[in-house]
């Protein structure tokens, strides 16, 4: 099998730059013998910054990048010269990337929007030169500060695709066929299990130019949570979807039982997945007649809407889109506006674990050696 281009998990060592030393210097010139202190401040070390990029879909570009190291700040100089600022390092990541500390497993941050920037590791502040320490009673201070040290961390980045609807079903249920019939996505389709080995996204257009995003993931089988099949690793890509579309083929012996097996596997991966809105689609209905469809109606799960569809003949596809759209926009599926402003994701993430402070109110960055750009940079 050729190596896949879909990379959704990378581990990188990151290090910010250390702050430059403040200078201890006393001015000395031909006609100004005791010219006083003039040691400049050290420059701040470079930050390691994460930046969301909507043109990226995987973490492939980081696959072979094992280290990201920002530049060190320059030392201060005589004549009150401030040291140069260390070069910031930007790590571009696709929207939907979650970052964890690799050693502790602690959640660090979540990049959800294009252009969103989060300082992963702050560069050390530059030390103050002796010019800053002059006072009326100490006119020639002979000390200056060293720069702050660098910070380092091993981080794990995981991509969780951002889609509205996630497809869940056994292998061969017709997930990829549905995605390719309702969107321009062209996932591989074939009549054998595990055709799909990596997730793909498609934009489904709906009435009046509206659209939503659908994610196709590899099929899961009974026991997937114990590692059977290709396991449930890919289920994290539907963690952010606000709606789950279960697909069960109409030739199944027991549609209700199949649905319950799928639900059970989801539950053992993450019980919260079961709190999402669900829809069941019975697929491949072009292969059975209307009488059989009527018969199947009698034994269906009753806690969710059920639609009979065929991606080949188009049967029930419009009805399915209507049901999806209504569920996506139903009141119970909306997050409060306060949360939506901050994030694109649909479901709560362990947000309480991160502390974010906006640059404007960040006083501790106003000390020597720091010259921050304006903008909405988040500090963690």
Which residues here bind ligand GTP, judged by CB under 6 A? 169, 171-177, 189-191, 193-196, 218-219, 283-284, 286-287, 310-312
- With beta carbons less than 8 A apart as the criterion, state whether 86 and 45 touch: yes
Which of ligand GTP, Mg ion, none does 194 bind, CB closer than 5 to 8 A by kind?
A: ligand GTP
By C-beta, is 17 or 174 nearer to ligand GTP?
Answer: 174
CB of 179 to Mg ion, least distance (A): 8
**Residue 311 interacts with Mg ion (CB under 5 A)?**
no
Least Å distance between CB 332 and ligand GTP?
29
- Among Mg ion, ligand GTP, none, residue 85 binds (CB under 5-8 Å by kind): none
Q: Is 116 in the site for Mg ion (CB under 5 A)?
A: no
Q: Is the dihedral of CA 155, 95, 333, 187 positive or negative?
A: negative
Q: Which does 316 bind (CB under 5 to 8 A by kind): Mg ion, ligand GTP, none?
A: none
SS3 41: coil
Draw the binding track, 180-219, toward Mg ion (x: CB under 5 A; -: no contact).
---------------xx-----------------------
193 binds, among Mg ion, ligand GTP, none (CB under 5 to 8 A by kind): ligand GTP
Q: Which does 311 bind (CB under 5 to 8 A by kind): Mg ion, ligand GTP, none?
A: ligand GTP
152-to-12, 91, 348, 349 alpha-carbon distances in Å: 11, 15, 28, 25
Tell me how far apart the alpha carbons of residues 48 and 69 are, in angstroms, rounded to a whole number: 7
List the single partner that 19 binds among ligand GTP, Mg ion, none, CB under 5 to 8 Å by kind: none
CB of 312 to ligand GTP, least distance (A): 4
With contact defined as beta carbons under 8 Å apart, do 171 and 194 qualify? Answer: yes
The three-state secondary structure class of 361 is helix
Query: Half-sphere exposure of 15 toward its Cβ, with a 13 Å CA cutoff?
Result: 11
CB of 175 to Mg ion, least distance (A): 5
Please report how close the Cβ of residue 285 comes to ligand GTP at its closest, in angstroms: 7
Q: Among 49-57, 101-109, 170-178, 359-367, which window interacts with Mg ion (CB under 5 A)?
A: 170-178
**Token pair belonging to 316:** 């029930």
In angstroms, what is the minimal distance from the CB of 192 to ligand GTP? 7
**Residue 146: contacted member of Mg ion, ligand GTP, none (CB under 5 to 8 Å, by partner type):** none
Question: Which of Mg ion, ligand GTP, none has residue 173 at its interface (CB below 5 to 8 Å by kind)?
Answer: ligand GTP
**From the list Mg ion, ligand GTP, none, partner contacted by residue 104 (C-beta under 5 to 8 A by kind):** none
Rounded alpha-carbon distances, angstroms, from residue 113 to 92, 222, 290, 360: 12, 35, 46, 20
Helix, strand, or coil here: 230?
coil
CB 120 within 8 A of CB 97: no
Provide the strand spans (E) within the chain. Answer: 9-15, 48-53, 67-69, 89-94, 97-101, 107-111, 117-121, 152-159, 165-169, 200-205, 211-216, 243-249, 277-283, 306-308, 357-358, 377-379
Sign of the dihedral through C-alpha 169, 175, 176, 179? negative
Which of 4, 138 has the CB closer to Mg ion? 4
| 366-to-243, 259, 347, 361, 362 alpha-carbon distances in Å | 45, 57, 36, 10, 8
The nearer residue to ligand GTP, 73 or 316, going by C-beta atoms, is 316
By CB under 5 A, name the one of 53, 151, 176, 181 that touches Mg ion. Answer: 176
Please say whether the beta carbons of 62 and 115 come within 8 A: no
For Mg ion, the closer of residues 72 and 200 by Cβ is 200
Of the pair 112, 196, the CB lying nearest Mg ion is at 196
- Count the helices and strands in the chain (H runs, E runs): 5, 16
In the bound state with Mg ion, the residue whose beta carbon lies nearer, of 53 and 196, is 196
Q: Which residues bind to Mg ion, rule: CB under 5 A?
A: 176, 195-196
């Amino acid at each position: 099998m050729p190596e896949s281009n879909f990379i959704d998990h990378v581990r990188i060592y990151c290090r910010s730059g250390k702050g430059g030393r403040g200078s201890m210097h006393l001015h000395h010139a031909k006609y100004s013998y005791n010219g006083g202190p003039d040691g400049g401040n050290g420059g701040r070390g470079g930050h390691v910054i994460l930046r969301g990029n909507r043109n990226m879909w995987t973490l492939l570009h980081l696959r072979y990048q094992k280290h990201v190291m920002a530049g060190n700040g320059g030392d201060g100089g005589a004549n009150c010269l401030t040291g140069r600022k260390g070069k910031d390092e930007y790590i571009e990541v696709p929207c939907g990337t979650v970052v964890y500390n690799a050693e502790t497993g602690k959640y660090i941050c979540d990049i959800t929007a294009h252009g969103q920037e989060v300082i992963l590791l702050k560069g050390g502040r530059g030390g103050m030169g002796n010019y800053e320490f002059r006072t009326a009673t100490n006119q020639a201070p002979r000390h200056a500060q060293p720069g702050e040290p660098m910070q380092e961390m091993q981080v794990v980045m995981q991509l969780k695709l951002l889609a509205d609807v996630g497809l869940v079903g056994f292998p061969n249920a017709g997930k990829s066929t549905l995605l390719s019939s309702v969107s321009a996505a062209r996932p591989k389709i074939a009549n054998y299990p595990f055709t799909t080995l990596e997730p793909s996204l498609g934009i489904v257009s709906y009435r009046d130019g509206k659209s939503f995003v659908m994610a196709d993931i590899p099929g899961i089988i009974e026991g997937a949570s114990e590692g059977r099949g290709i396991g449930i690793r890919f289920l994290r890509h539907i963690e952010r979807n606000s709606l789950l579309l279960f697909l069960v083929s109409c030739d199944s012996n027991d549609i209700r039982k199949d649905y319950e097996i799928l639900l059970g596997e989801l539950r053992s991966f993450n019980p919260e997945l079961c709190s999402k809105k669900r829809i069941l689609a019975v697929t491949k209905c072009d292969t059975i007649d209307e009488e059989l469809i009527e018969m199947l109606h009698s034994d269906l799960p009753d806690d969710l809407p059920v639609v009979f569809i065929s991606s080949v003949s188009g049967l029930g596809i419009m009805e399915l889109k209507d049901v999806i759209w209504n569920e996506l926009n139903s009141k119970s599926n909306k997050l409060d506006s306060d949360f939506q402003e901050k994030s694109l994701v649909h479901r709560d993430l362990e947000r309480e674990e991160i502390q974010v402070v906006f640059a404007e109110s960040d006083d501790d960055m106003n000390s020597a050696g720091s010259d921050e750009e304006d903008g909405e940079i988040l500090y963690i």
